[in-house]
Amino acid sequence: MSSLESTKKPRAFGGRLRNNWVTIVIFVVVAAAVMVFVPAFAQPVNLVNVARQSSIIGVVAIGMTFVILTGGIDLSVGSILALSGVTMAMLINSGADPSLAISVALLIGVAAGLLNGFAVAVLKIQPFIVTLATMVSILGISLRVTNGGPQAFDNSNPIFNVLGSGDVFGLPGPFLVFLLVAAVGAVLLRYFALGRYIYAVGGSFEAARLSGVPTRTTLITAYAVSGLTAALAGVMTASRLGVGAPTAGGLANLDAITAVVIGGTSLMGGIGGVVGTVFGALLLAVLSNLMNLMGIGPFDQQIVKGAVIILAVLFAMQATRKRISDRSSARKAPSGRQKEAPADPVANAGVPQ
């Protein structure tokens, strides 16, 4: 019932920061170490590059956070990203107005997300299988409409510049989009019924259903959000390159899931949030930038990346466990916190042991 309890009263912002402190600490420590040992990193141009490089996966990961919080997963984001970029490019090439092309691309993402959500919530198919299937089919659609080739288009319109590469107030446009999406996501999860429903469904689906949470609508909405952010990332990628490529999605799904999990959100659902995800995405971008700056060989980079992911998740898990045991012991003895108190089994149900 712990998740339901947490849905009754939104926690204060300080509480959320505490939830994500491990990721933030890792991020700050890594960034500080890097600034000392790799001087090239701290140069403003490089920092702007890293911010820009984190944006695409970051935007996808924000939507992914919604889905993972419900206890689900969305493997189709890479394919949605590609389809949206391809659609936008082809619409522009056929003479459509940029704002129309972008709107249609985003709507396609929402539509794909609704489809995922419908299959998960109403047809009760496992999210992994649903989104695996849509991942394959949607990639097929992109390949079919493009004949397998990248679609170049004219991206000189200022709107593409802002979304893709341009600077706004000295910060890269895509990074501002990322921060904006994260802010909207954080507000939705904290101050709106939808957010509380999402945590409730992820914490315990049955408990949420019995307490009158509209579980189906909640699930469908979460997948629609993920589809929308994936499509937005597709629009951003295409704007940046001036190309809508059917293969643009690549491993975006796995990168986004990694960012979410490093950010302290549990794959079991019900625990986590977008603030951690923001830092998870930044950490991934810093890591890859850093290894390139240090001249670590391409084979070794993969080994290091895997090791860092395991370590980061390990730390994030420890923090989550501690937080839950703190919370449950605080509930048992409201007057004072007994940190060594055994954890409440129900409270621990959502956490991998």
Partner 1 sequence: MHITKKRLTSWSAAMAIAATVALAAAGCSASGASQVAPPLNAGDKPAVSLYCGSTCASQLVLKAKPDSIKCSVGVSWSATSFPYGATSSKQIPALAKRWFPGMSVSVTDGQGDASTQSGQVDQLVAQGVKVLIVSSLDAKALNGAVDRALKAGVKVIAADRNVNAPVDTYIGSDNVDAGVASGKYIAKVLGAKGKIVELAGSLGASPTVARGDGLRKGLQGSGVQIVSTQTADYDQSKGLSVMQDLLQKYPAGSINGVYTHNDQMAFGAIQALKEAGRDKEIKVFSIDGEEKALADIKSGAMESTVGYPLVTKESVIAAAKLCAGEPVDKRIKLDSTLITKDNVAKYVGKSPQDE
Contact between 115 and partner 1 (CB under 8 A)? yes
Applying CB under 8 A, among 6, 7, 20, 53 the residue interacting with partner 1 is: 53
Give the CA angle between residues 5, 11, 13 to the nearest 5°: 165
Contact between 46 and partner 1 (CB under 8 A)? yes
Q: How many helices (H) and strands (E) does the chain have?
A: 16, 4
For residues 181 to 220, the per-residue mask of contacts with partner 1, x marking binding by CB under 8 A and - elsewhere, is: ---------------------------------x-xx--x
Contact between 152 and partner 1 (CB under 8 A)? yes
Stretch that binds partner 1, among 17-25, 70-78, 107-115, 316-324 (CB under 8 A): 107-115
The least CB distance from residue 49 to partner 1, in Å, is 5
Asked if residue 227 lies in contact with residue 112, where contact means CB atoms within 8 angstroms, the answer is yes
User: How far apart are alpha carbons 90 and 82 in whole angstroms?
Assistant: 12
Contact between 149 and partner 1 (CB under 8 A)? yes
Nearer to partner 1, 158 or 298 (CB): 298
User: Phi/psi of residue 244, each to 5°?
Assistant: -105, 110
Applying CB under 8 A, among 9, 94, 335, 353 the residue interacting with partner 1 is: 94
Contact between 308 and partner 1 (CB under 8 A)? no
Applying CB under 8 A, among 10, 30, 150, 304 the residue interacting with partner 1 is: 150
Applying CB under 8 A, among 243, 275, 283, 316 the residue interacting with partner 1 is: 243
Q: How far is CA 75 from CA 65, 213, 331, in A?
A: 12, 26, 37
Applying CB under 8 A, among 29, 33, 43, 300 the residue interacting with partner 1 is: 43
Which position has the token pair 């949605």? 80
Q: Which residues contact 17 (CB under 8 A, 6 or more apart)?
A: 24, 275
The least CB distance from residue 87 to partner 1, in Å, is 6
Q: Is the dihedral of CA 69, 315, 275, 252 positive or negative?
A: negative
Applying CB under 8 A, among 125, 141, 267, 330 the residue interacting with partner 1 is: 141
**Which helix (H) or strand (E) is 111 found in, with range?**
helix 98-121
Applying CB under 8 A, among 86, 230, 232, 261 the residue interacting with partner 1 is: 86
Tell which residue, 198, 248, 245, 217, has the closest CA to residue 60: 248
Q: How many CA atoms lie within 13 A of 129 on its CB side?
A: 7
The least CB distance from residue 141 to partner 1, in Å, is 5
Tell me the site size for partner 1, rule CB under 8 A.
Answer: 66
Asked if residue 320 lies in contact with residue 351, where contact means CB atoms within 8 angstroms, the answer is yes
Contact between 293 and partner 1 (CB under 8 A)? yes
Asked if residue 1 lies in contact with residue 204, where contact means CB atoms within 8 angstroms, the answer is yes
Which two tokens mark 271? 């625990």
Tell which residue, 316, 224, 315, 320, has the closest CA to residue 271: 320
The least CB distance from residue 209 to partner 1, in Å, is 10
User: How far apart are alpha carbons 229 and 181 in whole angstroms?
Assistant: 8
Contact between 125 and partner 1 (CB under 8 A)? no
Contact set with partner 1 (CB under 8 A): 40-41, 43, 45-46, 49, 53, 56, 83, 86-87, 90-91, 93-94, 104, 107-108, 110-115, 117-119, 121-122, 138-139, 141, 143-152, 165, 214, 216-217, 220, 237, 240-241, 243, 245-248, 250, 288-289, 292-293, 295, 297-299, 301-302
